[in-house]
Amino acid sequence: MYFEVHQPFRLNRFSVFNIGKNSSSSADYFNQKLNRQIFEKVAKKCYLPTNEVLLNLIKETDGKFRISYSLTGTFIECCERWMPSVIDSFRNLYDTGAVDFIEETYYHSLAGLYDDLTEFKDQVAMHREMMKRVFGYKPQIFRNTEAIYDNRIASTIESMGYKGIITEGTEKILSWRSPNYLYKPVNGSIKVLMRNYQLSDDVGFRFSAKGWVGYPLTADKYAKWMASNHGDLINLFIDYETFGEHQWTETGIFEFLKHLPHEVFKHKHLNFVTVSEAADRYQPIGDIDVPWAISWADADRDVSTWLGNEMQVACFNELKDLGLKIKDQKDPELLHTWRCLQTSDHLYYVSTKGFEDGNVHAYFSHYDNPYDGFINYMNILQDLKQKVS
Amino acid sequence: MKIAMIGWEYPPFKAGGLGTHCYGLTRSLAEKNVQVDFYMPKTKHRANSDKPNLKIIEVGETEIFPYDRPNDKELAGMFFEAVYRYNDLVVQKVKGRYDAIHCHDWLTVKAGVALKEKYGVPLILSVHSTEYDRSGWIYPNDWFINIEREGMQKADKIIAVSHFTKQVIVEKYGIDPNKIAVVHNAVYPLGQGEKKNLVLFLGRLTIQKGAEFFLRAAKKVLENEQTTFVVAGMGDMFPKLIKEAIHLGIANKVIFTGLLTEEEVKHIYRIASVYVMPSVSEPFGITALEAISAGTPTIVSKTAGVAEAFNNCLRVDFWDTDEMANKIVSLLRYDPLHRTLSEQGKQEIDLFTWDRVASKTIDVYQGVIHT
């Protein structure tokens, strides 16, 4: 089981009339009051209680219950700024020896999709340094933002020395093959862990859906489903906010979690491993070829969530093109601002995908609609451009 | 099914959404095998129907005033008298067997209620606007409110053009929410023209429509951007608005067109780059759908009915002229935004058909007939 833990720095309202007129610092782009409110709310509803449940489970099972986390750089900054106790509770988990961490880009960015991957590698290195500083740990497994993956990213990560990389176990790539094995890229030998989206989304999306045939989902039922899966391993990769935030306490999600390991251990052939243990234990059984990027997002399982319309592409290019100039300036604050603006959430808010996915987008967005998201983000990018030149 | 519909206006002559709605609704009802006799005041323009199921029956010699809430006292007196005379004449004129009576707004309430009582058939009242909307929530007039309330109480079912209006009917008129169905409006798409660098307001120049906020936003935009603002329409605020434009120092950048013909209206929707509907109170706002159907990105007041029904538009508080200006400039400056809103807007417009309005209206008819 692996959990993604992330917070973006949401933006302040920035009018077109402010462009080039605001002489104050670029740090003012971020609405830290709102970010703090949201962070503190999620910490109380999700991070702290879930960490406690998982810590108890590890103790109860003598470390046989094993899990992995990916913590983004912006998330760690939130903790350090507003609630350092959250980091302590992650340290407590790490100290059990039953927990490991996953690498990713520090800013949870789309830098893996840039034509030049220098910035991508820089952000991975920043995350590595952060993990070393905060936990004294060196991750072996990489998972890109929202599991975005293609052959190019895989070979870059392999060349940086990682043992494994995580992505979505979508039929688009696997076709008839099972996600319950390790694979390797057609152009390399790094081990690829494929998310079992069926079982992962049963918890993440469908847990409290009353119209779903699996409702109500109990730990013993879920453990039986796991037990009936064939293969070497089941990759359960779940957004951490599922616990207590997307699925409220009242849905019974914590009770489910508390019982899950015990129910799983009733099946003799099942046990838990961390992602790095999984990569050590198993060998790839086949190649995957991913020339076009996939991800775990939306029904499309590609990058259209962030680059699906013209407005998103315009922002993406605008931001990317600012990079060379910003790096020339050697101004650390400007560089950090530019990178915080690369967090994928800002483009997610500009998605116009309709119906099912659009509803999910609206749930996560603090804008009235994607157009407002575009205007605000683009105004800020224009202002940053003027600050740089 | 046979319906006697009591209307007030019908294209080619119309002053507002009520006429547009009746036109689209009656034609689509007729196509769905509902027989509609549409009663309306006789005008110098003749309204026609080319559908066998739809008969337009013109009543009396009443002259229609192009205002729904005249401010001038003398004009108002004549107007109310005309409304009363029309309602009386309709009651005399309606004969024969109908399954239901369907009337629209306070203008036709008296006739609707009298006919319901005379023939003992169900009454449906469509509410396109209330006195609270027309007054911009400033000194609403009890005289209108009482007529509206009587109609709402006596009607077997009320059709509101938005949830916003439903809420007003519940809260201000004390009506049971279960008696109110919401049916959002529709549009016959106009098709796109070649865009010019102009920003459009189109509507009656009354306190309800908020044109003065459009001018204040224009001032802010013009400090940063080269464009032309067009105020299309006529109404009692006209002299005030001209003074305001002069006072703001933007008179050379604002064109007041006066009343436009139907063809001119279509043309200006098609060539405008941005349409703004800053209504103080807007039960629905069909003009927004018309502009969007012409591929024109549209900024609407947050409280307008259309804002709750339509996704691909921008929303502002009508009083927040800074934000209105921010959005106008963004639309003029950022082509990807303009193109996306234009394209996605036109796609979404396809869902807003009169056929859908007619189906939902038939559901309402079926709910009250035979009960």
Residues of chain B with Cβ-Cβ distance to A354 below 8 Å are 311
Which band of pLDDT confidence, cut at 50, 70 and 90, is reported for residue B108?
very high
What values do phi and psi take at B182, rounded to 5? Answer: -100, 125
- Which residues, including other chains, have CB under 8 Å from residue A385's CB and lie 6 or more apart? A318, A322
Class of domain B198-349: alpha beta
> Mind listing the pLDDT tens digit for each residue in B173-182?
999 999 999 9
User: For residues B161, B165, B169 and B171, what is the CA-based torsion angle, rounded to 10 degrees?
Assistant: 160
Task: Say whether A310 and B333 touch across the interface (CB within 8 A).
Answer: no
Task: Say whether B340 and A372 touch across the interface (CB within 8 A).
Answer: no
- Decide if B45 contacts B12 (C-beta within 8 A): yes
Q: What is the mean pLDDT of residues A17-32?
A: 85
Chain B 196-235, residues with CB within 8 Å of chain A CB atoms: 220, 224
Residues of chain A with Cβ-Cβ distance to B337 below 8 Å are 311, 371, 374-375, 378
3-state secondary structure of A261: helix
Query: CB atoms < 10 A from the CB of A64, how many?
Result: 14
Please report where in the chains the tokens 């400090």 appear, as a residue.
Answer: B223
Q: Which of A4, A77, A103, A146 is catalytic?
A: A146
The pTM (predicted TM-score) of the whole model is: 0.91
> Mind listing the pLDDT tens digit for each residue in A273-291?
999 999 999 999 999 999 9
C-alpha B47/C-alpha B27 separation (Å) is: 13
Q: Which is nearest to A221 in space by CA: A238, A235, A203?
A: A203
> Mind listing the pLDDT tens digit for each residue in A80-138?
999 999 999 999 999 999 999 999 999 999 999 999 999 999 999 999 999 999 999 99
Task: Say whether B326 and A15 touch across the interface (CB within 8 A).
Answer: yes
- Decide if B227 contacts B258 (C-beta within 8 A): no
- Decide if B103 contacts B126 (C-beta within 8 A): yes
Q: What percent of chain B has pLDDT over 70?
A: 95
Distance from CA of B296 to the nearest CA of A (A): 14
User: What is the reported pLDDT for B371?
Assistant: 56
CA-nearest residue to A362 within chain B is B311
- Which residues, including other chains, have CB under 8 Å from residue A205's CB and lie 6 or more apart? none
Class of domain A2-288: alpha beta
| Predicted-complex ipTM score | 0.88
- Which residues, including other chains, have CB under 8 Å from residue A214's CB and lie 6 or more apart? A202, A206, A221
Q: Least CB-CB distance to A309: which of B314, B323, B340?
A: B340
> Mind listing the pLDDT tens digit for each residue in B300-354?
999 899 999 999 999 999 999 999 999 999 999 999 999 999 999 999 999 999 9
Please report where in the chains the tokens 């209105």 appear, as a residue.
Answer: B324
Whether chain A has a CB inside 8 Å of the CB on B81: the answer is no
Instruction: Say whether A77 is catalytic.
Output: no
Q: Which is nearest to B70 in space by CA: B40, B107, B45, B19?
A: B107
Task: With a cut of 90, say whether residue A355 has pLDDT above it.
Answer: no
User: For residues A195, A198, A203 and A204, what is the CA-based torsion angle, rounded to 10 degrees?
Assistant: 60
User: What is the reported pLDDT for B80?
Assistant: 83
Distance from CA of A315 to the nearest CA of B (A): 10
Q: What percent of chain A has pLDDT over 70?
A: 97
Q: Least CB-CB distance to B330: which of A309, A369, A375?
A: A375
Count how many pairs of residues, chain A against chain B, have C-beta atoms within 8 Å.
54
Count of positions (residues) in chain A: 389
Task: With a cut of 80, say whether residue A363 has pLDDT above it.
Answer: no
User: What is the reported pLDDT for B219?
Assistant: 98
Token couple for B314:
């921008």
CA distances from A321 to A336, A341, A382 (A): 16, 13, 12
- Which residues, including other chains, have CB under 8 Å from residue B306's CB and lie 6 or more apart? B162, B184, B185, B277, B282, B284, B285, B286, B288, B289, B300, B313
The continuous run of DSSP H or E covering A279 comes out as helix A275-281
Q: Least CB-CB distance to A371: which of B220, B329, B337?
A: B337
C-alpha A102/C-alpha A139 separation (Å) is: 5
Whether chain A has a CB inside 8 Å of the CB on B143: the answer is no
- State the fold for domain B2-183+353-368: Rossmann fold (3.40.50)
User: What is the reported pLDDT for B43?
Assistant: 78
Domain coordinates of chain B in residue numbers?
2-183+353-368, 198-349
User: What is the reported pLDDT for A26?
Assistant: 79
Which band of pLDDT confidence, cut at 50, 70 and 90, is reported for residue B65?
low
Task: Say whether A372 and B314 touch across the interface (CB within 8 A).
Answer: yes
Domain coordinates of chain A in residue numbers?
2-288, 304-388
Residues of chain A with Cβ-Cβ distance to B325 below 8 Å are 16-17
